[in-house]
Structure 1
């Protein structure tokens, strides 16, 4: 069996380490939950101060308090996105795979004949 040619791995194609990915997801989660806390505080201040146009600002604060935690958890549990150049490289490698020159076509292969009579 013929060995495939060695293809070196480029460092630019290497994915980020698990620790780096985890740290970036943790930072994103903390930032989003901080925005949620700000929404809660601003909503409480607006209600306490009886701000004008309260009917306009309160739904924005409520939406921030409800939607941001949901999005924060989804994004924190999400893995890194697949980069398009990696996907394209894998597809190109698959398309380049050609049958080995030693393989015989269907017509060239010897046919096995099974005879029922001895």
Structure 2
């Protein structure tokens, strides 16, 4: 028996792994559809009681399973509880952050120079600098 590795991350499954799982679901559903067709043929040949009901169920399986299989195979996996919480938090933070234009922002420049003893002292303002 192949032992599965321990999951130590909250990262999503790889795209290849997701694709493989969707392929398995699709093939499984199409196999059930084929079994509905075979079962319908067997039922017609042995004529059990309530044959009409059984044939309707088999026909429903043959009609609706391909539709459902395509929808399920093309759907991405559902978000985990942690992913939903993280996206809700990100949306909340994005909505509450103030938006500033570059003209609105006041930039602070710290200008210091080293001294001979290794300390840093503010440099003298140059002509034209704001004080």
TM-score, normalization: structure 1?
0.67
Task: Say which structure is richer in helix.
Answer: 1
User: Which one of the candidate residues 22, 37, 41 is aligned to 2:38?
Assistant: 41
Aligned length: 92
Once the two structures are superposed, residues 11-70 of structure 1 have per-residue CA deviations (whole angstroms, 9 ceiling, x without a partner) of 622111011001000000011001001100000010111222101211110100000011
Segments of 4+ moved more than 2 angstroms = 90-100
Task: Say which structure is richer in strand.
Answer: 2
Q: Does 1:19 align with 2:19?
A: no
CA RMSD of aligned residues (A): 2.3
Q: In 1, Cα distance between the equivalents of 2:71 and 2:20?
A: 15
Structure showing greater radius of gyration is: 2
Q: Which has the higher contact order (CA 8 A, sep 6+)?
A: 1
TM-score, normalization: structure 2?
0.61
- Give the 5 Å matches for 1:1-118: 12-95=9-92
